[in-house]
Amino acid sequence: MSTIATSAERLTRSTPPLGGFNLTFLAIEFRRRLRNRRTLAFTVVMPVALFLLVGLPLKDTPLTSQSIADGGLSVAAYILISMAVYGAMVASTSAGGAVAVERATGWSRQLRLTPLNPVAYIATKVVSSLVLGLLAVVATFAAGLIAGVQMPVQVWILSGLVAWLGSLVFTALGLFIGYLVPTENVMQFLGPILAVLALFGGLFTPLDQFPQVIQDIARWTPVYGLGEIARAPLTGADFDMLAVVNIVVWLAIFALGAALAFRRDTKRV
């Protein structure tokens, strides 16, 4: 009997601390993201390039009636924050959408045969998406700082934090689509969608440049709330509470969708 009990104990998998969430696994996950050149191009290079092409030539163009020489802000600062938001949202979506690749290659199935807790697996994806999103924001802001864009210190900090933490909405979107779409080319599917959302969210062009009907529709898109709140420290305007509701509602929708898709996927093993 003792021999049987000992064998049973050996066959029983012990649950690791925190369900398997650890810095080593997180570092491996992040290195995998950094080795993906396509991901780096879309999350770091593209927002910086867009700022240099579109925003930098407007560095001396005042955002308001107050001239830049008198302490006014430039249009380049407005575009810089918008590009930081865009970079963070693409980075977070791609990190979340990476689950589609792992499902297609069978890696997620292998992980479910280990003691790794599914919640720890999702937590690793969320944290890695935040790190990648932070990298995108820092790279974009660094380009603006080197280019000579001037903003108050609190604007750099507050706008950067909003762009970074608000990208959790798109982490949830990436996870939702990643578990919903069984393809390793998920970012080719999501890329055009994110570009359209960014356009209607006012990141590429201010919403007041569109017809009123487009403006009304755009206020209900996922990017609108994040862009409005991120630029609020710069413009000094009180953002509409609709922007806050926008972020909360879309985060809830995408998170719920990701949770349901995740539960359906884990039932296969």
pLDDT confidence of residue 1: 47
Per-residue b/e over 3-30, b at no fewer than 16 CB within 10 Å? Answer: eeeeeeeeeeeeeeeeebbeeebbeebb
User: In a 3-state reduction of DSSP, which class is residue 158?
Assistant: helix
pLDDT tens for 70-80 read 666 788 999 99
| pLDDT of 53 above 90 | yes
**Closest C-alpha among 245, 241, 78, 95 to residue 167:** 95
DSSP secondary structure, 21-53, as one string: --HHHHHHHHHHHHH-HHHHIIIIIHHHHHIII
Instruction: Write the Ramachandran bin of 126: left for phi over 0, alpha for psi from -120 to 50, otherwise beta.
Output: alpha
- C-alpha span between 195 and 201 (Å, rounded): 10
pLDDT at 158 over 90: yes
| pLDDT(11) > 50 | no
pLDDT value at position 188? 73
pLDDT tops 50 at residue 8 = no
Q: Which residue has the higher pLDDT, 127 or 39?
A: 127
pLDDT in tens, 211-231: 888 888 888 899 999 999 999
Which residues, at least 6 apart from 241, have a Cβ–Cβ distance to it below 8 Å? none
CA-based angle 202:206:209, to the nearest 5?
120
